[in-house]
Homo-oligomer: A and B are copies of this chain.
Amino acid sequence: MPKPDLGTSLFILRIMQFSPFFNAHHSPIGAFSTLTFGYKGASGGPGIELKGPADESLYIGIESQVQPNQFFAFPWFAGSDSVAQSDYDVEGLADTQFAEAVRPFPDSQISRQFGANTDVWLAPNLTFSTYSPIRPVPNPESASLSGLKNSLCPCVTCELVVDNLKGQHEVKAFFGYAGSNRGPNMRTWQDQGVTGIGQGRTVAIATDAKSAYAGIGFQPESVLTPRDTQNLSFMLGNCALIVVPVPAGTKAVIRFVVGFYRDGLVTTGQELSYLYSRYFHNVESVCKHGLEHFEETKQVSLASDQALKSRLSEVRFHHLSHALRSYLGATQLLETPEKKPVWIVNEGEYRMMNTFDLTVDQLFLELAMNPWTVQNVLEHFIDRYSYHDEVRFPNSDQQFPGGIVFTHDMGVGNAFSARGFSCYEQAKLKGVFSYMSCEELVNWILCACLTIDATRDQKWAKKILPTLLETLQSLMSRDNPNPLLRNGIMGLDSSRCKGGSEITTYDSLDSSLGQARNNTYLGVKTWAAYTLLESVLRLLNESQAAKTAGDQAKKAADSLIAAADGFGLLPAVIDEGNDARIIPAIEGLVYPFLTSFFTDHPDSALRKVLKRHFELILRPGICLFPDNGWRLSSTSRNSWLSKIYLCQFVSEAILGLPADTKADAAHWKWLTDEDNAYFAWSDQMVEGKAHGSRYYPRGVTSALWICTDGINPFEAIRNCLLGEQNSQSVAQSTQSTKAPLL
């Protein structure tokens, strides 16, 4: 299929029958910041460290060419704050109110070109674009200053193109927002050719347009059509605008930057600051840097979107774009007072920090873009968020040796949890909020082994080797205390549960996926962990341990194969009478596939069983919703897009099945559903409605779609995201050899 150029009307969402009015993040990397907008009303705006959209009005529009002093704006605002004004004017005596003169463009006049790096909104005589490129984060301990500054500058670059070529009079273009009532008041500033608005010291919008002016009021009209320019000194009300007049007969390209900034220590438990604050001293300097690098940012963004479009179907491009945006808005690069970097991804609306079951899903993207962040997180888990437990059989108080395990997360909302504890896990439970000791252990092994393979970082591999060996031992302890009775599958719960049962990441589905012990989903992942351990340990000259891991992998595969019934169906939980059918049984296949060790041979029997199982269940009434969306468990109404994306990749790239384009469309419909579109990208969908895991970073499993064959997968993803579409041609994917490990 031929692909038209970027900038034409391909990918215009209105034409796709989907509403363009969904919120999306527009974020720098590492700043836990976002300019969220798209959904109608006061539903977005600039936000730092929030659980969801800032719920502020965003005013972006122009004056009518035919009716002076009448304005049209994108529909991201609520009515003006007349209540606030009446607080000052108790008896309604003031002559300061302005008739409402800012109206939304009619829906029919608005279209959107939505990408991962660019988001372009078109209306009559006005184009509003944002450029927030997916950039790798260089390792601060080795990167160049300019590279770091450019990657980490906490801003979003925006552009207004105003076409007044046919206009008979000057029109005003404007960009502003109404800040939260809980923060400091709005402000304006002018400095060295830059005009800005902002709230406090943390958020600002600035332009270098020479004719720009800024003002504050209870309503946008008081800034757009002030009674006297002297009145632009007014600062009450929370609506602040930058206004740029565009003369008749001209077309103006106006650059804006939305800057974010938090100074000093920002966390508790561990006292850390934003790494960017090493390089930028206030939000004004952030904006200035953004304006100075405008063109570069724009070109990088255009190239990346172009490359992505050349690799993906239209709807998958939108899925991945949306997911990448929500991920970026959740990233947070901090540093200790000793300047040691600390990488955090916050868990969307929950804001849990480095939730490990998300780390393992974000791994694919991060190994492509900045594998040092994975290493950083894995070491953080070793140093502070690991613990040693004992294990128990169900309904027994007898404890057996356990081993090293890892916490579910590192804290929540800028509050680090205590050493060795997550913010989430509780004893004596069987469902949500119980411990995930075994799953996080498996996740650590998978992340570590894949990182060693992807980075070929010998030094790091040797550094974590003792932990790798410990994890192998710990994982076997959870199988059976008696080596002779081991079957490769988790059979004992952590003593931390104190009689409760461990859960998996799928805690909020039903027990088909939520129970950890004997779970097929976790079983396949455990098999993958042993498989990767075997290869990595062998390469690290730990042949004895490698052999042990290999034996365990074999046992796990055998157990899983044996669990299939006469039809080839696998139970969700082995030997516990749970006949639910689960798609994520196939999830674990992804890990060996992405390694350089991968050959078709060792897992072929298991793969065959899983493929059979999967083909049997991906049917209406079992694991397909009536709208063709994928249902992760036949017994739950709750399905998760991040995991669907991942299993789609497994289905296509590993099981060799065709892409389910109907499902792609159904899933996009979920995301843009009127009830869901406010939350940007969401994960948990209960019959297509977002009920949890909203505003969520985990959907970047879809980055795997870029690499369809598993050959040098992370390089393929990286090259594409960096806009190098030619160097990663289809031809290359037929390559069958890899660089040697280590």
Contacts and interface: CB of A to CB of B under 8 A. Distances in A.
Given A93-B431, A180-B182, A88 B350 contact: yes
B233 A418 contact: yes
A265 B88 contact: no
A148 interface: no
B236 A350 contact: yes
Contact of A90 (B187, B264, B686): B686
Contacts of A185: 351, 411-415, 423
A403 interface: no
B412 A235 contact: yes
A724 interface: no
A422 B414 CA distance: 37
Nearest to A496: B230
A514 B93 contact: yes
Interface in A55-101: 86-91, 93-96
A228 B428 contact: yes
Interface residues of A, number: 79
A293 interface: no
A147 interface: no
Contact of A91 (B230, B422, B636): B636
A417 interface: yes
A432 B230 contact: no
A517 to B, nearest CB: 16
Interface string A92-113: 0111100000000000000000
Nearest to A636: B91
Contacts of A90: 508, 638, 684, 686, 691-692
A564 interface: no
A50 B233 CA distance: 23
A417 B421 CA distance: 47
A636 B91 CA distance: 9
Contacts of A636: 91
B95 A233 contact: no
Nearest to A503: B93
A184 interface: yes
Nearest to A181: B51
Contacts of A351: 185
Given A200-B268, A201-B265, A201-B268, A186 B415 contact: yes
A554 interface: no
A433 interface: yes
A412 B238 CA distance: 11
A224 to B, nearest CB: 15
A96 B509 CA distance: 16
A212 to B, nearest CB: 16
B424 A234 contact: yes
Nearest to A235: B423
A669 interface: no
A664 B667 CA distance: 66
A235 B415 contact: yes
Contacts of A458: none
A14 interface: no
Contact of A417 (B51, B201, B233): B233
A285 interface: no
A236 B424 contact: yes
Given A180-B182, A234-B426, A412-B185, A432 B508 contact: no
B227 A428 contact: yes
A433 B186 contact: no
A636 B92 CA distance: 12
A231 interface: yes
Contacts of A201: 265-266, 268
Given A88-B692, A415-B185, A421-B233, A426 B269 contact: no
A641 to B, nearest CB: 14
A429 B96 contact: yes
A93 B508 contact: yes
13 contacts: A88-B433, A91-B686, A93-B510, A93-B514, A185-B411, A200-B268, A227-B426, A228-B428, A233-B421, A233-B425, A234-B423, A235-B417, A236-B412
Given A89-B432, A233-B422, 5 more contacts: A90-B508, A95-B431, A187-B269, A201-B268, A264-B264
Closest 3 CB pairs of A and B: A185-B413, A235-B423, A94-B432
